[in-house]
Structure 1
Amino acid sequence: MKALTFKRYGKTPDIGFAEVPRPTLKPDELLVEVHAAAVNPIDNMIPTGLFKAVVKLQLPAVMGSDLAGVVTEVGSRVTRFKPGDAVFASIFGIGTGAIAEFAVVPESAAALKPDKLDFVQAASIPMVGLTSWQALKERMKLRPGQKVFIPAGSGGIGTFAIQLAKHLGARVGTTTSTGNVELVRSLGADEIVDYKKQEFEKVLRGYDAVLGTVRGDAMEKAVGILKPGAAMVSLVGPLDAAFARARGLDFFLTFVFGMMSRKIMRLAKQHEVSYSFLFAHPDGAQLAQIGELLQTERIRPVIDKVFPFEQAKEALDYLAQGRAKGKVVIKVR
């Protein structure tokens, strides 16, 4: 089967199409004919080797983790799905990829595709949906009336997280460029800072939580807008020791990650707030709940651009420019 792969870690990962064997199933897995696959920033980061110690892959590795498609075969222990079911899933971190003609999906990671979404729309959801769910509901425990700061509101994560936060009853602050102000307002953002005209840390105050979506010193600046007792959850780093322990990493990596997060941890402690790093994990049950919100149109997909399968590498290059409004999706068939 045809798949987008990378052959090595580093500055020249040799990303391109290759013929790879069609995957074989374990008893608890589904074989899915992929109709669409979305790309995420992590897809461009993994070939650099930055997460090599955390995400275990056998090279050459098939790229991508978000998919929507049709089940063609099920393992002997699968009970919730059958051939012909339309599903969507994140397979991030399980060692296989989604930008391919077929993909293996653990039963525990899959959910039925909402009828109201086509395959392209459904593929745009898993990573951003699960990341937002696990950050806002599980880690932050966001409650009605609380204020959450979600920077980069027009991006893939931002467009979903704003809508989920509003569904949870929170007030949302965000940053965006002048041209995207109306987009984030339409998603429900309450306080919008045009980063080309203002600095958010000089405008926003009294927040209960912040979702770290922007690299650089944005998390350090965000500490000043938070109330004591607030929660900082970062999707972009620095990684911390708690994350290393949760992933079962060795003492050395736990120490290294602890050193990487030492500055932000110290700053957070000074302001009486908490800091943690989050790597979203596949979860079909959570994805099914997200699917209900999409089916009832309480949350809508936001898609910037759709690329044909043959231009999958161009989709990754386009995403890397950092200007996408919402998600970038590859239409496989």
Structure 2
Amino acid sequence: MRAVFYNKYGSVDVLQYGELPKPVLKHDQVLVRVHAASVNPVDWKAREGKMMPVTGLTFPRIPGVDIAGVVAEIGRDVESFLPGDRVFGMISDTVGGAYAEYAAISEKVTVPIPDNLTYKQAAAVPLTALTALQALRDKGELKAGEKVLINGASSGVGIFAIQIAKVLGAAEITGVCSTDHVQLVKSLGADNVIDYTEEDFMQHKQKYDLIFDAVAKTTYLDSKDCLKHHGRYVTTVPDPKDIALGFMLSVFSDKKLKTIITKDRGEDLKLIKHWIEAEQVKPVIDKIFPLKKAAEAQKYSEAGHAAGKIILMIDGE
């Protein structure tokens, strides 16, 4: 099968495009003929070796966790799907395998693609939408009627966080983004938008029940004065310097620091699918690359200026 892979950790230059064997299917997995995948920061952070304690030293490695495509084969214990079904899902971070013509994924985290999504739109959903949902609902304990601020509101995670916060009943949603993305963030449902190139939300007098930093650009220590009593600060990848002191201070404060590690929960993705079908939530695509240009796509992701998701098209290159 065609695939993008690497045989050692390093810069984007270690990525290769070529032929690899199809994945060996386990009893509880489905083999998906991948039509589209997405590029996430975790892909290039893993490639750089920053997740080596988790990813190990087994090569070759195929990047990517988000897939959308058609079921090609099913394991003997699979009961929910048949060959030909349109599906999407998030492969475990420690496994990867999305940048390829075929990918194996557990049945329990595989979900039918909503009828109102194309393959490229479906590939834009799993990791970032699951991160936003679990950050707001589980870690942030967002309640109806609360005020929430989302930093990095035009990022892959931020775009879903704006929409999911609204579905969960937030009374007021403030998004933080650059000038170029203000209108996009407003169109997704943000009540207020702060352009970080012109003002710093941490200098505002506004206070929030929940601050979610979708791009890990702030710290609990810097943001806690913007939280109301019993407020929560949630971040995706906390600053190491912030972790120890921040957690220690939050233990003795009613303002809590939480971190999010996304879980590949099938039930959560089914809930997101329901919201998409009801047109309450939608993916936003920034740019599309063919599979063979995955290195270029990762460079674009690393630059940090995408508004929405970066997609790799495997079929129809």
TM class by shorter-chain length? over 0.9
- Tell me if structure 1 keeps the 8 A contact 2:139–2:259: no
Aligned to 2:133: 133
Write the distance in 2 (CA, Å) between the matches of 1:193 and 1:266: 30
In structure 2, do the counterparts of structure 1 residues 45 and 125 end up closer, same or farther at CA, with 3 Å as the change threshold?
A: same
Q: Which stretch has the larger CA shift, 77-86 or 15-24?
A: 15-24
Matched residues in 2 for 1:58 and 1:86: separation? 31
Secondary structure class of the residue paired with 1:53: helix
TM-aligned CA deviation for residue 92 of structure 1: 3.0
What is residue 262 of structure 1 aligned with on the other side?
244
TM-score (norm 1): 0.89
Give the secondary-structure state (helix, strand or coil) at the position aligned to 1:96. Answer: coil
State whether structure 2 residue 100 is matched by structure 1 residue 72.
no
Contact 1:128–1:156 (CA<8 Å) still a contact in 2? yes
1:306 and 2:310 correspond: no
Confirm or deny: 8 A CA contact 1:5 1:15 kept in the other structure.
yes
- Secondary structure (helix, strand or coil) at the match of 1:182 reads helix
For 1:189, the aligned partner's letter is A
Match of 2:50 in 1: 50
Where does residue 204 of structure 2 map in the other structure?
Answer: 203
What letter matches 1:329 in structure 2?
Answer: I
1:186-207 residue CA offsets vs partner (Å, 9 max, x unmatched): 1111221111111111125221
**Is the 8 Å Cα contact of residues 13 and 48 (structure 1) preserved in structure 2?**
no
Question: What are the superposed Cα offsets for residues 189-244 of structure 1, whole Å, 9 maximum, x if unpaired?
Answer: 122111111111112522111212234444432211101222222112247xxxxx
Counterpart of 1:176 in structure 2: which amino acid? Answer: C
Structure 1 partner of 2:276: 294
Pick closer, same or farther for the CA change 1:18–1:329 going to 2, 3 Å.
same
Quote the Cα distance in structure 2 between the aligned partners of 1:302 and 1:212.
Answer: 19
| Residue type at the aligned position of 2:143 | R
Distance 1:94 1:112 in 2: 23
Return the TM-score normalized by structure 2. 0.94
> How big is the shift at 1:269?
4.2
Question: Are 1:275 and 2:276 counterparts?
Answer: no
Aligned length: 314
Q: Distance in 1 between matches of 2:75 and 2:57?
A: 22
Q: Which amino acid aligns with 2:228?
A: K
Determine the C-alpha separation between the residues in 1 that align with 2:267 and 2:56: 24
Of 186-195 and 159-168, deviating more is 186-195
User: Is the CA contact (8 Å cut-off) linking 2:219 and 2:238 kept in structure 1?
Assistant: no
Aligned counterparts, 1:199-278, within 5 A: 199-203=200-204, 205-238=206-239, 261-269=243-251, 271-278=253-260
Contact kept in structure 1, 2:206 and 2:226, CA below 8 Å: yes
1:296-318 CA distance string (max 9 Å, x none): 11111111111112212111111
8 Å CA contact 2:3–2:17 kept in 1: the answer is yes
Measured in 1, the distance between the counterparts of 2:47 and 2:17 equals 15
Counterparts of 1:120 and 1:34, CA distance in 2: 10
> Which residue identity does 1:330 align to in structure 2?
L
Contact 1:57–1:96, Cα closer than 8 Å, also in 2: no
Change (3 A) 1:321 1:5: same
Distance, in Å, in 2 between the alignment partners of 1:236 and 1:94 is 17
Partner of 1:123: 123
Deviation at 1:24, TM superposition (A): 1.2
Structure 1 residues 308-317 or 4-13, which shifts more?
4-13
Work out the CA distance in 2 between the residues paired with 1:120 and 1:216. 28
Matches within 5 A, 1:64-213: 64-170=64-170, 171-203=172-204, 205-213=206-214
Aligned to 1:324: 306
2 CA distance for matches of 1:57 and 1:235?
Answer: 25
- What's the CA shift string for 1:26-84, capped at 9, x where partnerless? 11000000000001111111112212113446222000100100001000100111111
Q: Secondary structure at the match of 1:153?
A: coil
Give identity over the alignment, percent: 37
The question of whether the paired residues in 1 share the 8 Å contact of 2:216 and 2:239 is answered with no
Task: Establish whether residue 284 from structure 1 lines up as the match of residue 266 from structure 2.
Answer: yes
1:12 and 1:137, CA in 2 relative to 1: closer, same or farther beyond 3 A? closer
Partner AA of 2:144 in structure 1: P
The answer to whether the 8 Å contact 1:2/1:17 transfers is: yes
Residue type of the alignment partner of 1:298: Q
Partner of 1:38: 38
| Distance (Å, rounded) in 1 between the aligned partners of 2:127 and 2:205 | 28
